[in-house]
Structures are given as structure tokens and as C-alpha cells.
Amino acid sequence: MISMPPIDVRIGQSAHDLLGDAAFLAGWKSLHRQCPHATGYQSPGFVGAWYESYKSIYRPVIAISRSANGDLLALWLLAFDPATKELVHAGSHQAEYHLWLALPEAATAFLTSALLELRRHIQFTVLRFKYLPSAALVDTLQAMPGMKNRIAVKIHRRPLLNIDPVRIKESLAKKKTKSRFNRLKKLGVVEFRRVTELGEFDRIIEDFVAFYDFRQSAVNHTMPFREDPLKRPFHRALLAAAPSDIHLTVTYLDGRLIAALWATISGKTLHIGIPVHSPLLAEHSPGKLHIMQLSEFMTSDAMDVLDLTPGKDPWKEGFANAHDEVAEALIYRSAVARGLADAKDWLRAVIKRCVAAAGVEPQAVRKTVVAVQRARASVLVRRARQWIGALHELRIYRGNREFSGRFTCDERVATNAIADLLLIEARSSWDRDAFLAEALERLKRGESVYTICVDGRLAHYGWMVRNQTEPFFSEVQQSITLPPGSVSLYDFYTHPAFRGRGLYRATMSHMLQAAFVDEATQYAYVSVLADNPASRHVIEGLGFRYQRSLHWQRRFGREKSWADAVVATTESSDASK
């Protein structure tokens, strides 16, 4: 190991001042070009935008090594959160790859000296490398003196798409692929393009964020943009500061975003960052078609590799034609800190194995814990009473084409507004995620949601299913058969703070107008529990005619259900009360 000049550690304002030094930035860019393992996440544009965007949380920490004549030999770009005492790499969770900048022969000596200086200046427990872009870089970390009991490493398999113009052309020429594109083009004008201007970014960002948070909440139980209010301004600042380092592509349908991909550039490699697509067009696979168009676009840009990044997303393996290995690494401040962390990991693993051995899914455990936390005496008493005895009557109503022209659109009502659904106010994140997961599945099935937002809150929503033939009613555990050309209106909800404002009636009127604009629609059905007089009043006031009732009963845990005969009415008769 070669010796290194003294390490200069800049923290806070001193580091910020350095970022404004033209000579330092020039040296940084030069070092970035020379470092064989550098990625776009260590570039001045990316790091500078992140430091500035997250300065309210993190203090920049920069470890520097210079030669005798002042040239930069090595850089370690970090940040410290005084509130949590956490030391992270610049970019933190926004950067896929964490590492240092140095020539290979100087890396171990630099890291050894820099780590000693960092320990002198900052009290931290662990420093995480989310991923090292090559598993071989672990050898550099492990070569540092005293690392044997202070470093934990995990190897991950990384899927890659090597850009091969011939294979890409063959894939796009496949009958199935061409059919998908043709079906999408029948809906409107399809355009794929790269976004480099802030004006265009600002026009698409609302849909971009809504699509991403909606899917992430439904599938992974997190809302990255909503949970991190600095994430959106950071990405905007990054595009403004370094448009050549960012690769943002969008697929438009009649000028509206239906798929997009935010990626970071490292030489001739693109690292996938944020993929989004509209759940409203899931049957057309807009996300998959976007990746295919991107791979073709990369050939014209002379890009060699699309890094699909480590992870368990099945779609990544569907595109991958090669793999390599990256490494996750944790460096602990001491062997004791490493031991404590290992003990916690061991305990979590034991609990997980015990749960698995009992045949219980982790998701079910979480749901049970939430339910227990919510359990109150009144809730338990109500559930006990329901077990002893409960009786539900569900009234079915129908309207026909004479509704056509009776109702008008309400400008307050939005159709399939994903951003509105994200405003749901649930009792817990579990309830929110469950709501959005169900909404995602419904939208995939082609159902439509109608929403009203008031003062930034989801005040009311309702769902409509077109061409439904056999709806199932969970309240009474029964289904009915509907005639051709029927739509169902169901699952209406008004936030308690907005009840009594006529939102239910306004939404249903809007939905009926939308339903009967389609000449194929002959009937509209809606159901309501008999013990909900307020909703019955609205439904009957709109002109729906009572058809029949479905019943469900429980007595001491035993259940039964039955249905009344259809009420014989003429199309012009008044609604039965």
C-alpha cells in the first residue's frame, strides 16, 4: 500500500464553499474521467444538485487528497445528518451506486487515511455502500487494515441489457410487439422522446410523480415522492444543472405522458432510476413498450448497456440478456458496532423463520399487528355482536336509457385522476396501501374511478364498471346476472368532513351522464344497504327504480343468504319505496 499525502476533510459550509471553486470543480471532473469505476452518481452535476437540494438535512462532508502540486488524487463525497448521526454517501438513497474517486493504485491508501480522519471529525456508527458498481471493488475495502471484523458484504446479481442493434430490430419486428404498438396507436398519436428542457419537465412532473407513488404504494408500501418532499425539487435541480448526465425519456399518447424512465448516464451505460407508466393503460403494456423504444433509441446514441439495476422486479429479468455482480457493503466504526448489528440481524432472521415455519405470511403478521393496535373495547364488542347475530339487506336499483340527457357533467368531478387517489386519508399506511393496491387492480381491469377533491383532500369517490355481467356483492355474499349493455356504480365514499354537501349526488349524476353518452349502455345499476336511508334517498331521487333485495344472515357464526324475486315494474313506473 502506497503512502498518501495528508487528508483534508471539509464539513458543512467549508465544503459548500469548495463546491463553488472553479479550480476544484475542474480537478473533480478530471478525476471523474480518469477513475475507472466512476459512475454518474459521483459527477459534479449530480452531487452538487443533491448537496444543494438536501442542505436542510445533510451537511456535506468531502475527504480530499492532493498531490504536492495541488492536483486532486482522490475524493470521497459524503454527507452527515446531525439529527440522526448518520453518515451517508452523497446522494444517499437517490444514488444507486456509492463509491470513492481515485486511481486504482491509490484507492486503498486513500480510503484507509480518509476513514481515520472521518472517525476523528464525525461520530457515526456505520457507513453504507448501497451498491458498489463492481463486486471486485470489495477487495479494495477489505484490503484496508483492521477491516476484517468491521465490514459486512453481500453480493447481488445485476441484470443488464446489452444493446445489440440486430436483436433489438428483430424484437421490434415480432408480430406480438407490432400488435401491441398498433393497439396503442389506435388510441391516439404515440410519441417517444427524450426530455432535456425544464419547461417540458414541469409539464409532465405531476403525472410522473402520481404514477410512480401510486404503484410504489400499492406494490411496495411506500410513496417516495410524497414521503420525501425534497425528491421532486432535487430531480428538477439535477436536470437543470446537468442535463447531459440525465437521461429522461417519455412516451406520450396525444401529448399526455403514459410511460417514462429517469436514468443516469455513466459513459455508455444508462442506469435505470425511476420507471413509470399509466395504470389506466396496463392492458397495452406501456412500460414494456417504452423500454423497447428506449433500447432502440440507445443505438442511435451509441450507448452500450442498459443497467437494469439489482432487485427482484420480474420485468427486469424479462429484458436482461446478461448479468454481472455488484456488492452491498457496510463499514462499521468498530468491531463492537458490527457485533451488535449482527446480533440484531440474527434475531430478525430467527423471528422470520419462526413465522415462516408457522405458515404465516409476513404481510399477514403486519396486518394483524395493525388490527390489534386498533382494537378497542367498543370494536371488540361490536364484532362479538356480529358473530352472535347480523342481518344485511342489499337493495338493487336500476336506471335505463331514459336517463340519457337528464344529467350533466360536474366540473368538480375528475375521472381516473391518479393524483386524487394519493390524497386518501387512511387510519394507517397499511390502510392507504391496501386502498391503492385495490385501486390499481380495478384500474387494470378497466374500471373507472370518479373523484372530488376539496382543499387538497380526497372528499369523495365512486367506481364504475362498464359491460359488467355478474357483479359480486361482498355485503351479502351473492352475485346477480345483468343484461347486456349494463354498467355498475359502486363503492362510493364521502370523507366525514365533507358529508352533507351533495357530493354523492353530484358524482353519481356525473357518472350517469358519462355512462349513457355511450350508446351501447342500456342500463345502470347501483346497490345500497337498506339501513342507509341517506344514500337510498339520493339514489331514488335520481330516478333509479328498485329491482330486488339480496339478504344475508349470521346466527352464532352460521351464515345463510337468499334473494327476493325481481319486482315487476314498467319502465315508466315510479320508484318503489
Residues 443 and 550 in one domain: yes
Phi, psi of 162 (to 5 degrees): -75, 125
Instruction: Return the SS3 of 94.
Output: helix
pLDDT digits (tens, 9 = 90+) for 251-268: 999 999 999 999 999 999
Q: Is residue 475 in a domain?
A: yes
Residues 63 and 173 in one domain: no
Alpha helices, DSSP H, located in 79-152: 104-121, 138-142
Phi, psi of 252 (to 5 degrees): -105, 145
pLDDT digits (tens, 9 = 90+) for 393-402: 999 999 999 8
Residues 538 and 398 in one domain: yes
Alpha-carbon Rg for the chain, nearest whole angstrom, is 29
Residues 89 and 226 in one domain: no
User: CA 424, CA 438: separation in Å to the nearest integer?
Assistant: 13
pLDDT at residue 429 in the model:
85
Our measurement of the distance from residue 186's CA atom to the centroid of its chain's CA atoms, rounded to an integer in Å, reads 28
Q: Among 278, 303, 328, which residue terminates a domain? A: 303
% of residues, the chain, pLDDT over 90? 79
pLDDT at residue 269 in the model:
97
Residues 414 and 496 in one domain: yes
Q: Among 124, 151, 172, which residue terminates a domain? A: 124
pLDDT at residue 541 in the model:
94
Domain limits for position 97: 8-124
Residues 194 and 115 in one domain: no
pLDDT at residue 384 in the model:
56
User: CA 155, CA 140: separation in Å to the nearest integer?
Assistant: 15
pLDDT at residue 3 in the model:
63
pLDDT at residue 348 in the model:
72
pLDDT at residue 148 in the model:
84
Q: Among 250, 271, 303, which residue terminates a domain? A: 303
Q: Is residue 374 in a domain?
A: no
Q: Is residue 458 in a domain?
A: yes
The CATH number linked to 105 is 3.40.630
- Whether 413 shows a pLDDT value over 90: the answer reads yes
**Using CB atoms within 10 A of its CB, is residue 338 exposed (0-12), middle (13-18) or buried (19+)?**
buried
Q: Is residue 445 in a domain?
A: yes
Residues 431 and 551 in one domain: yes
pLDDT band per the 50, 70, 90 thresholds, residue 373? very low
pLDDT digits (tens, 9 = 90+) for 425-454: 988 888 999 999 999 999 999 999 999 999
- 204 Cβ contact partners less than 8 Å away, ≥ 6 residues apart: 195, 250, 257, 260
Average pLDDT over residues 11-22: 95
pLDDT at residue 402 in the model:
86
pLDDT digits (tens, 9 = 90+) for 304-340: 999 999 988 889 999 999 999 999 999 998 777 777 7
Q: Is residue 376 in a domain?
A: no
Residues 109 and 171 in one domain: no
Residues 412 and 281 in one domain: no
Average pLDDT over residues 338-360: 70
pLDDT digits (tens, 9 = 90+) for 45-83: 999 999 999 999 999 999 999 998 889 999 999 999 999
**Using CB atoms within 10 A of its CB, is residue 313 exposed (0-12), middle (13-18) or buried (19+)?**
middle
Q: Is residue 249 in a domain?
A: yes
pLDDT band per the 50, 70, 90 thresholds, residue 572? very low
User: CA 100, CA 110: separation in Å to the nearest integer?
Assistant: 9
Our measurement of the distance from residue 467's CA atom to the centroid of its chain's CA atoms, rounded to an integer in Å, reads 30
Total domains present in the chain: 3
pLDDT at residue 576 in the model:
37
Place of cell 356525473: 510
- 421 Cβ contact partners less than 8 Å away, ≥ 6 residues apart: 214, 435, 436, 439, 449, 451, 458, 461
Residues 94 and 184 in one domain: no
More confident residue, 286 or 385: 286
Residues 402 and 551 in one domain: yes
Cα-based torsion angle of the residue sequence 435, 441, 447, 449 in order, rounded to the nearest 10 degrees = 20
Q: Is residue 348 in a domain?
A: no
Residues 47 and 97 in one domain: yes
More confident residue, 345 or 467: 467
Q: Is residue 134 in a domain?
A: no
Average pLDDT over residues 497-518: 95
Average pLDDT over residues 156-168: 95
The CATH number linked to 286 is 3.40.630.30
Is 307 within 8 Å of 160 (Cβ atoms)?
A: yes
pLDDT band per the 50, 70, 90 thresholds, residue 357? low
